[in-house]
Amino acid sequence: MSANQFKNPVVRWIDHRLPIFSFLNHEATEYPTPKNLNYFWNFGSLAGISLVIMIITGIVLSMNYTAHVDYAFDSVERIMRDVNHGWLLRYIHMNGASFFFIVVFIHIFRGLYYGSYKAPRELLWMLGVVILLLMMATAFMGYVLPWGQMSFWGATVITNLFSALPFVGEGIVTWLWGGFSVDNPTLNRFFSLHYLLPFVIVGVVILHLVALHRFGSNNPLGIDTRGPQDTIPFHPYYTIKDFFGLSVFLTFFAAAVFFFPNFMGHPDNYIPANALQTPAHIVPEWYFLPFYAILRAVPDKLGGVLAMFGAIAVLFILPWLDSSPVRSGRFRPIFKIFFWVFFADCLVLGYIGAMPAEGIYVVIGRVATVWYFLHFLLILPILSVAETPRPLPQSISTPIFGGAGAMAGAAAAPKRKVE
Amino acid sequence: MAALKTKKAAPAADQKSRRDFIVVATYSMGAVGAGAFAWPLIDQMNPAADTLALASIEVDVSKIAEGQSITLKWRGKPVFIRHRTKTEIDEALRDDALNMRDPQVDSDRVQKPEYLVVLGVCTHLGCVPLGQKVGEVRGEYDGWFCPCHGSHYDSSGRIRKGPAPTNLEIPPYAFLSDEVIKIG
């Protein structure tokens, strides 16, 4: 880690005074990473890249956007028709939001399955939940900006959630609106915050990374690394793996942008906002659907709102709800089953969120909502004590008892010499 | 690449150069991709299609009385059209032979001597010169006077005195008929 490891004298001079190169070398190049990470570990870097793509395209879009109720819709149409490459930038930004959520949801389920939230990574996990909340707020406010019908009524419905709070509710909603309905002041503040929050997310992402690098990545076996034989340097092994994953991700992303740009959107949002008429079938963007289903499942205004926010809040205390010492779902046969049931439950909630709130859908929605909370509040605590986990391997280098262990260790050693 | 190869001259030299090739090819493709992505980000700041569509205007000059000037907005900038009097035209022609900062004869600056069409933007630092309205200062040469830093233009829009480096610019225009000018 000494400064004289750099050949370039300018780099050495700077590094002696400002150890930025040593820092990068330590955290991005040498950074010892478990050697057994699978492709689910790509999604952290993919999320980071998605954030960067959103910020870059967002900054250039804002150069062409007008945050005023009389001009917003037309300015977006101008971006689509007249601004050079405007259609491309907007479709990247619009689909980028969906892809960002896809990546982050996979990242979260990865953490849930492999127990990445457990000690000593509780704060890392909680910072991740903060990022999710910020993302949801940012995405919601961004969706309001084109000022179409869905923008307007989405803003109306979501801000009205706060009116459920006793005593202060109405006051809060008026404060959020800056008037007596969603109108120009609302649009202006949403634009301001939509520009601000991504940079707040960047800040929390940095904290997320600091917390990650304190103990390093979890891994599919969920056991701690026990020394150099269990790790490989991040560069070039995981940079190249991340780049490969990125190219696959960008292939899907580009396919959506160029061939199905409006697949994940709503046609109603190409109708200018009309404060006097609500669209017949109003649903949020797909990434909010499970939470929307939970909101509607509770037949009480305040209860629904609390349940919806509770669905996120329960993630904050997850590290203490699941107290099993075994991290990875691989060695927890019963947990594994419940994990997949929970996964299916989330998909069902997403489906129900997209359906009208009537008939059988209401019943299914309620069952799925109850199961969502049961999983966290009852099943996980019980499994923590009741389940007998399968025996854990001694180390990452010896995943199978005896046998292949020595060979894996031998294979790892020369790899490090190459580096 | 060659340098790397000689430095690491070893039995594995052959393999090493292949890897170098892949590395260089990868970086090159990455650079091409980044450039392709960067271009839309940069190009979106150029004038959009609707801005370009507003880039020409038509004006009927028959309604401008002799000695009168009008100011139009073209591409966000003022365009001066002056229906020059006989005196003004004579002054401009008379001065053709003088030594000027930006020498140009009056006949090169007009399509019809009666109508002078110039951009009303001082070539010094972009202020709008005075002299369009009745009673405004027209400078010492019966043309325009820029109040910002004191540039005097003559009745042909040529710079005669003051800091401006060149004559008032002539926008591209054409007479569609005897009475209608298309600017841009």
Give the tens place of pLDDT for each residue, B108-132: 999 999 999 999 999 999 999 999 9
In angstroms, the CA B84 to CA B68 distance is 7
B13 pLDDT more than 80: no
Q: Angle A289-297/A360-374 helices, nearest 10 degrees? A: 100
In this complex, do B50 and A78 lie within 8 Å of one another by their Cβ atoms? yes
In angstroms, the CA A329 to CA A341 distance is 13
| Angle A342-A343-A346 from CA coordinates, rounded to 5° | 85
A275 pLDDT more than 80: yes
Question: Residue B14 — pLDDT band, cuts 50, 70, 90?
Answer: low
In angstroms, the CA B28 to CA A274 distance is 50
* Residue A172 to residues A47, A136, A160, A180, A338, Cα–Cα distance (Å): 33, 19, 9, 11, 39
The pTM of the full predicted model, rounded to 2 decimals, is: 0.85
Give the tens place of pLDDT for each residue, A208-246: 999 999 999 999 999 999 989 999 999 999 999 999 999
For residues B183 and B171, the answer to whether their CB atoms sit within 8 Å is yes
Report which DSSP code applies to B96: G
Please report which helix (H) or strand (E) contains residue A254, including its range: helix A234-259
Q: Is A247 on the interface with B (CB under 8 A)?
A: no
Q: 3-state DSSP helix/strand/coil percent for chain A, to nearest 5?
A: 70, 0, 25
Question: Residue B52 — pLDDT band, cuts 50, 70, 90?
Answer: confident
Q: Which fold has domain A38-284?
A: Cytochrome Bc1 Complex; Chain C (1.20.810)
Question: For A85, which of B40, B50, B51 is closest by C-beta distance?
Answer: B40
Which one of B8, B23, B44 would you mutate to disrupt binding with A, by most A Cβ within 10 Å of its Cβ?
B44
In this complex, do B40 and A84 lie within 8 Å of one another by their Cβ atoms? yes
At A208 the pLDDT is: 98
Q: Which of residues 79-98 of B touch A (CB under 8 A)?
A: none
Chain A residues close to B41, C-beta within 8 Å = 56-57, 60, 89
How high does pLDDT run on average in chain A?
92
Task: Quote the tokens at residue B177.
Answer: 């008929």
Q: Which of residues 58-117 of A touch B (CB under 8 A)?
A: 60, 63-64, 78, 81-86, 88-89
Could you give the 3-state DSSP secondary structure of residue B11? coil
CB count within 10 Å of CB A181 equals: 13
Share of chain A above pLDDT 90, in %: 89
Give the tens place of pLDDT for each residue, A31-71: 999 999 999 999 999 999 999 999 999 999 999 999 999 99
Q: 3-state DSSP helix/strand/coil percent for chain B, to nearest 5?
A: 35, 25, 45
In angstroms, the CA B2 to CA A413 distance is 30
Distance (Å) from the alpha carbon of B47 to chain A's nearest alpha carbon? 8
Give the tens place of pLDDT for each residue, A356-382: 888 999 999 999 999 999 999 999 999
Question: For A56, which of B41, B46, B49 is closest by C-beta distance?
Answer: B41
A303 pLDDT more than 80: yes
- Section B19-29 average pLDDT: 91
Length of chain A counted residue by residue? 419
Distance (Å) from the alpha carbon of B59 to chain A's nearest alpha carbon? 26
B4 pLDDT more than 50: no
Which one of A85, A88, A244, A249 would you mutate to disrupt binding with B, by most B Cβ within 10 Å of its Cβ?
A85
A334 pLDDT more than 70: yes
Question: For B45, which of A56, A63, A81 is closest by C-beta distance?
Answer: A63
Q: Considering only alpha carbons, which residue of chain B is nearest residue A57?
A: B41
Chain A residues close to B7, C-beta within 8 Å = none
Query: Lowest-pLDDT range, A184-193, A295-304, B6-15?
Result: B6-15
- Section A284-306 average pLDDT: 94
Question: Residue B1 — pLDDT band, cuts 50, 70, 90?
Answer: very low
A415 pLDDT more than 80: no
Which sequence positions of B are flagged as catalytic?
A: 149
At A232 the pLDDT is: 95
Strands B115-119 and A32-34: unpaired
A7-28 burial, b for 16+ CB within 10 Å, e for fewer?
A: eeeeeeeebeeeeebbeebeee
Chain B residues close to A7, C-beta within 8 Å = none
A417 pLDDT more than 70: no
Residue spans of the domains in chain A: they are 1-30, 38-284, 290-323+333-388
DSSP string, A9-30: HHHHHHHHHSTHHHHHIIIIII
Give the tens place of pLDDT for each residue, B66-99: 889 999 999 889 999 999 999 999 999 998 888 8
**If phi over 0 gives left and psi between -120 and 50 gives alpha, with beta otherwise, what is residue B126?**
left
Q: Considering only alpha carbons, which residue of chain A is nearest residue B50?
A: A82
Q: Which of residues 36-55 of B touch A (CB under 8 A)?
A: 39-41, 43-46, 48-51
Distance (Å) from the alpha carbon of A57 to chain B's nearest alpha carbon? 7
Give the tens place of pLDDT for each residue, A85-96: 999 999 999 999
| Amino acid identity at A166 | P
Chain B residues close to A80, C-beta within 8 Å = none
In this complex, do A60 and B50 lie within 8 Å of one another by their Cβ atoms? no
Nearest CA to A249 out of A29, A31, A53 is that of: A53
A3 pLDDT more than 70: no
- Section B26-52 average pLDDT: 92
ipTM of the complex model: 0.79
Task: Quote the tokens at residue A370.
Answer: 């109850």
CB neighbour list of residue A106: distance below 8 Å, 6 or more residues apart? A40, A43
In this complex, do A83 and B41 lie within 8 Å of one another by their Cβ atoms? no
DSSP string, A164-200: GSTTTHHHHHHHHHTSSSS-HHHHHHHHHHHHHHHHH
